[in-house]
C-alpha cells in the first residue's frame, strides 16, 4: 500500500462492497418503477472492484468499461453525483452528458468509462505512455471483460504495452458471460491469464469473488508493475449475477448455473468469514447494511432533485 494509505481492513472491504451492491440495487429499483436510462450492472463482481481499487495509489489512473459503478465507488466516487450522471442531471460528474456508459472523473483518476467493448484497451497504452514520459510512480489500471479479451484490440494493446515497456495493470473480470453469449462459445479454455505469456508478460488468475484474495493479488501485481514499469495481466474469476443490462433478463442462462454462483456471492462470503471470526456481530452487520442503504437513499434524493442541464450549455465543450 501507499505509505500514506493504511491497508484496508476486512470490515473496510465489506463496507465498500455493501455500498456498491446498495447502489446497483437502487438502480434496479428505479427500473422496476418505470422507464429509466440504460444501465449495465456488476452485481456479483463487487469483490473484484473493491479488491483491485483498494490496492491502488492516489496517483494511479483507471480506464474502465460499461460495468463501471463498482470501480468508481471503490475509488471514492460520490454516489449522488454518479446517479445524477446516469439520470442526465447537471450535478453529475460530466454534467449529465455521459450517462452511465461514458463517465469520467478526473479528480479520482478515472480517465474514462467506455461502452465500446474493448474501447478502454485501445487507449490504455497511450495513457501509460504519457505516464512514462511524465515520470513518477503512477501506473495505469485497465478493467475489461472476457468478451473484450476475445477481440483483436486486446492482443494489440498487450503487445504494444509489452514492446514499449508500459506500466499497465490489465484486469480482466472474467464473469463468464459476454452480453448474451457464454464465454465457452467464443474461446478455447477457461482462462484469459495464460494468453499474456505470448507477449512476455506475467499474469495471474485469482478468485474474483474473494475480496481478500483479490486485494492480495492486486497489491502484488500493482507493486510489480510499479517496480518494473512492465505490464501485468490479472484475471479475476467471477460472475455477473444479473442480465447483460437492466431491465434484468437471464432467460438464456441455465438456472442451475445461476444458483451455483449465487452460493459463491462475494459479499455473503466475507460476511460469513467476519461473523465466524467474531470481528462482526449480526447487529453490526445489519448496521452496515442499513448505512449502505441509507447512503443510496440520500444519493437517489440528491439525483432526483437535481436539475437537468440548461439548454444554453448544449454546445459547451464541443470542439467542432
* Rounded CA separation 77/180 (Å): 29
Q: Read off the pLDDT band of 319 (50, 70, 90).
A: confident
Predicted confidence at residue 4, as pLDDT, reads 54
pLDDT digits (tens, 9 = 90+) for 27-62: 999 998 888 888 999 999 999 999 999 999 999 999
Exposure letters 225-261 (e unless 16+ CB within 10 A, then b)? beeebbbbbbbbbbbbbbbbbbeeebeebeeeeeeeb
* Rounded CA separation 119/42 (Å): 18
Q: Is the pLDDT of residue 130 over 90?
A: yes
Q: Which residue has the cell 510499479?
A: 226
Q: Are 37 and 88 in contact (CB under 8 A)?
A: yes
**pTM for this predicted structure:** 0.94
Q: What is the grid cell recorded at 61? A: 489512473
CATH fold of 10-297, please? Answer: Rossmann fold (3.40.50)
pLDDT digits (tens, 9 = 90+) for 159-209: 999 999 999 999 999 999 888 889 888 899 899 999 999 999 999 999 999
Amino acid at each position: 500500500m501507499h505509505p500514506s494509505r493504511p491497508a484496508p481492513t476486512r470490515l473496510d472491504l465489506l463496507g465498500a462492497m455493501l455500498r456498491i451492491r446498495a447502489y446497483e440495487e437502487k438502480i434496479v429499483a428505479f427500473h422496476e418503477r418505470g422507464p429509466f436510462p440504460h444501465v449495465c450492472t456488476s452485481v456479483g463482481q463487487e469483490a473484484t472492484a473493491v479488491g483491485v481499487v483498494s490496492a491502488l495509489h492516489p496517483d494511479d489512473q483507471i480506464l474502465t468499461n460499461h460495468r463501471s459503478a463498482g470501480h468508481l465507488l471503490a475509488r471514492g466516487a460520490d454516489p449522488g453525483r454518479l446517479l445524477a450522471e446516469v439520470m442526465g442531471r447537471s450535478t453529475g460528474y460530466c454534467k449529465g452528458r455521459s450517462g452511465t456508459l461514458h463517465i469520467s472523473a478526473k479528480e479520482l483518476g478515472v480517465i474514462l468509462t467506455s461502452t465500446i467493448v474493448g474501447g478502454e484497451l485501445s487507449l490504455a497504452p497511450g495513457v501509460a505512455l504519457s505516464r512514462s514520459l511524465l515520470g513518477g510512480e503512477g501506473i495505469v489500471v485497465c478493467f475489461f471483460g472476457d468478451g473484450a479479451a476475445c477481440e483483436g484490440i486486446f492482443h494489440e494493446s498487450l503487445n504494444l504495452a509489452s514492446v514499449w515497456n508500459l506500466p499497465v495493470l490489465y484486469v480482466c473480470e472474467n464473469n463468464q458471460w459476454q452480453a448474451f453469449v457464454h464465454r465457452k462459445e467464443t474461446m478455447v479454455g477457461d482462462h484469459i491469464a495464460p494468453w499474456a505469456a505470448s507477449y512476455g508478460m506475467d499474469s495471474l488468475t485469482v478468485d474474483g469473488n474473494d475480496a481478500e484474495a483479490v486485494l492480495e493479488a492486486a497489491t502484488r501485481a500493482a507493486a510489480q508493475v510499479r517496480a518494473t514499469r512492465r505490464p501485468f495481466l490479472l484475471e479475476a474469476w467471477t460472475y455477473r449475477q444479473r442480465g447483460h443490462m437492466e431491465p434484468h433478463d437471464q432467460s438464456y442462462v441455465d438456472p442451475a448455473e445461476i444458483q451455483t454462483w449465487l452460493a459463491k456471492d462475494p459479499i455473503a462470503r466475507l460476511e460469513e468469514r467476519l461473523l465466524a471470526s467474531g470481528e462482526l456481530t449480526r447487529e453490526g452487520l445489519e448496521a452496515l447494511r442499513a448505512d449502505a442503504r441509507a447512503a443510496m437513499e440520500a444519493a437517489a434524493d440528491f439525483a432526483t432533485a437535481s436539475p437537468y442541464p440548461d439548454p444554453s450549455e448544449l454546445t459547451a465543450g464541443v470542439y467542432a
